[in-house]
Amino acid sequence: MDELGDAELVVRIVAGDERALMVAYDRHGATLFGIAVRFLGDRESAAEVVQEVFLSLWQRGARFDVAAGSLIAWLIGIARHRSLDRLRAASRRPRLVRTPTGDGRGGAGSGLEDVASTAGGRAAVMAQGAEADPAVEVDRRWTRSVVRASLAELPEAERHVLVLAYDEGLSQSQIAARLGLPIGTVKSRTRRAMAALRARLVEIPELMDR
Amino acid sequence: MKPMDHAEAHERLADLALEPAAFDLSGTAEGLHPLQAHIEGCATCRADLVAWRATHDAIDDALATADGHRGRLADLAAEPPIVSPTSLRAAIARIPGSNEGATAVTSAPAGDQRLEATTRFGWRRAAALVAAVAVAVLGVSLLRDQSARLDLAQSETRELASVTAVLGRVLSDPGRHVVSLTSADGTANGSVAWSGHDLAVMTRALERPPTGQTYRCWIERDGARSPVGEMWFAGDLAYWTGSLDDWATISLDGGGRFGVSLEPAPGGGHGQPVLVADLPG
């Protein structure tokens, strides 16, 4: 069962195979939980979101179209909707806490972060500064959460080449020289890392529509 | 100018994706113009280009700091993976059972079939068979039990490592705060520690809550209680860790009281505090 591809796994889940559901959870649950915790800032709400995602997979797995993308991307898309629902619900609640940041961003009348407290824990900040569009801000934070969670899961060797490319602006050949590796090895590591990130980001319509 | 075919364009785009700053196809670098010409007439490659650009944009977004500067990927990459709690896996495992109409994977043989089998083999042979099956089931159960215990121990170890990592980050921050959690009798029984980025609540004074109940964390200010989280368990440690980064909606620096109470799950919020800590104003 562990060797099955995601598409076969979903076929079994749709047929009511409980073990297949657990294999799917073992394969993707930690990723989804990591993203949701980073987005919602609260383990309890994140756990509830992940449960809702797998309930959707169990009940509506037939809607997954393998031709349209990977299972993890589909699940991340569901998690995003569920997380945003929670955020919207939270933003309708009364303000409970204001968090001055102490660096000039906080304080009355200076672009306060408008916050809301959910029944289950902390929700995310809805930035309401003059120049910040809350919807854009929320999309951006979801994207950050996906990127952060994905980076944290990359193998060390793949992360390292990305760090050299982004933080030091090195080209692939410069990275190869720095690490003393064949250029092909560096390229394949970078490709794998970038492909993993891309696969998890394609379900964010706003990102792809820019 | 030699036109670029699809396979070549696809490879070239994948190569460009390796260089964060290489997607400006309007540049004058040799070799980019044929690619641009191909992309203009190829919907697949256009979508490919959009996806790669979006991936780079997403990484740039993730690196942007609140004050408009660019952070380091190394810092993002250094974040430890967030470990999901054991209880979440158990909750997922309960999903099929809670779904009426879901198809069972296996079904037990009907009673009359068992009776027929018993008659055919005779009661002595049937009894021997039952005993053998019982031994086998017991053996499998023991193995499964040991395997489950091992899974639990490994999961708890990962959770403890995650808690330790958060606590380490808090304690290494010069601006950290640590306050004691006290029981109703005033005994110190754990701590709440936080920095500008992380929060860790830990105690060994709680036992796992009964089914249907949970230990809620809350902050009480001016008589109003705001639920902020929930205690999780790893071994005999009860904990809650969270992020206080820019998206956090709670502040522990505004005075009041942090508390933990046993509540129905879901719901609650008014239970008697079992642990409390005064927060600095």
Tell whether B247 lies on the interface with A, counting CB pairs under 8 A.
yes
Longest dimension (CA), chain B: 90
Predicted local confidence at residue A20, as pLDDT: 94
Element at B156 (helix H, strand E): helix B123-171
Q: Phi, psi at residue A145, to the nearest 5°?
A: -65, -40
Q: Which of residues 186-225 of B touch A (CB under 8 A)?
A: 219, 224
Predicted local confidence at residue A204, as pLDDT: 62
- Kindly list the residues from chain B whose CB atom is less than 8 angstroms away from the CB atom of residue A37: 82, 243
B138 and B35 part of one domain: no
B154 and B253 part of one domain: yes
Given B26, B47, B76, the domain boundary residue is B76
Coil, strand or helix at A33: helix
Residue B150 in domain: yes
Per the structure, the count of domains in chain A is 2
B195 and B259 part of one domain: yes
Q: Which domain holds residue B271?
A: 116-281
Per-residue exposure over B90-106, b if at least 16 CB sit within 10 Å of its own CB, e if not: ebbeebbeeeeeeeeee
ipTM reported for the complex surpasses 0.90: no
Could you tell me which residue, A164 or B144, shows the higher pLDDT?
A164
Reported as a single tens digit per residue, the pLDDT across B98-137 is 643 333 222 223 333 333 333 344 445 555 655 666 666 6
Residue B1 in domain: no
Predicted local confidence at residue B57, as pLDDT: 81
> 10 Å Cβ neighbour count for A93?
14
With cut-offs at 50, 70 and 90, classify the pLDDT of residue B145: low
Whether residue B22 has pLDDT greater than 50: yes
Q: Which of residues 17-76 of A touch B (CB under 8 A)?
A: 17-19, 21-22, 25-26, 29-30, 33-34, 37-39, 41-44, 47, 50-51, 54-55, 58-59
Cβ neighbourhood burial of B21 (10 Å; 0-12, 13-18, 19+): exposed
* Contact assignment for B247 to A171 by CB distance below 8 Å: no
Whether residue B275 has pLDDT greater than 90: yes
Whether residue A114 has pLDDT greater than 50: no
* Contact assignment for A21 to B92 by CB distance below 8 Å: yes
Residue B100 in domain: no
Predicted local confidence at residue A122, as pLDDT: 30
Tell whether B241 lies on the interface with A, counting CB pairs under 8 A.
yes
**For range B189-195, the mean pLDDT:** 88
Give the span between the Cα atoms of B227 and B220, in whole angstroms. 9
Q: Phi, psi at residue B191, to the nearest 5°?
A: -150, 160
Residue B104 in domain: no
Reported as a single tens digit per residue, the pLDDT across B150-166 is 777 777 777 777 778 77
Lowest mean pLDDT among A141-145, B26-30, B165-169, B272-276: B26-30
The CATH number linked to B186 is 2.60.40
Q: Which domain holds residue A74?
A: 6-89
With cut-offs at 50, 70 and 90, classify the pLDDT of residue A17: very high
B58 and B194 part of one domain: no
- Kindly list the residues from chain A whose CB atom is less than 8 angstroms away from the CB atom of residue B21: 169
Instruction: Report the mean per-residue pLDDT for chain A.
Output: 74
Given A66, A89, A112, the domain boundary residue is A89
**For range B63-70, the mean pLDDT:** 75
The token duo for B126 is 């049937």
B164 and B51 part of one domain: no
Residue A145 in domain: no
B154 and B45 part of one domain: no
- Kindly list the residues from chain A whose CB atom is less than 8 angstroms away from the CB atom of residue B241: 43
B152 and B260 part of one domain: yes
Reported as a single tens digit per residue, the pLDDT across B196-207 is 777 889 998 898
- Kindly list the residues from chain B whose CB atom is less than 8 angstroms away from the CB atom of residue A207: 54, 57-58
Whether residue B52 has pLDDT greater than 50: yes
The CATH number linked to A73 is 1.10.1740.10
* Contact assignment for B250 to A97 by CB distance below 8 Å: yes
**For range A177-200, the mean pLDDT:** 88
* Contact assignment for B93 to A22 by CB distance below 8 Å: yes
Contact B242, A41 (CB under 8 A): yes
* Contact assignment for B95 to A38 by CB distance below 8 Å: no
Residue A97 in domain: no
Q: What is the pTM of this model?
A: 0.53
Alpha helices in B19-122 (DSSP H): 32-40, 43-63, 73-77, 86-93, 95-98, 111-121
Given A89, A117, A132, the domain boundary residue is A89
Give the span between the Cα atoms of A126 and A21, in whole angstroms. 34
Per the structure, the count of domains in chain B is 2
The token duo for B129 is 């068979």
Residue B56 in domain: yes
Give the span between the Cα atoms of A183 and B220, in whole angstroms. 58
Could you tell me which residue, A95 or A193, shows the higher pLDDT?
A193
The CATH number linked to A189 is 1.10.10.10
Residues 6+ apart with CB under 8 A from A119: B227, B266, B269
Residue A137 in domain: no
- End-to-end alpha carbon distance in chain A: 39
B178 and B39 part of one domain: no
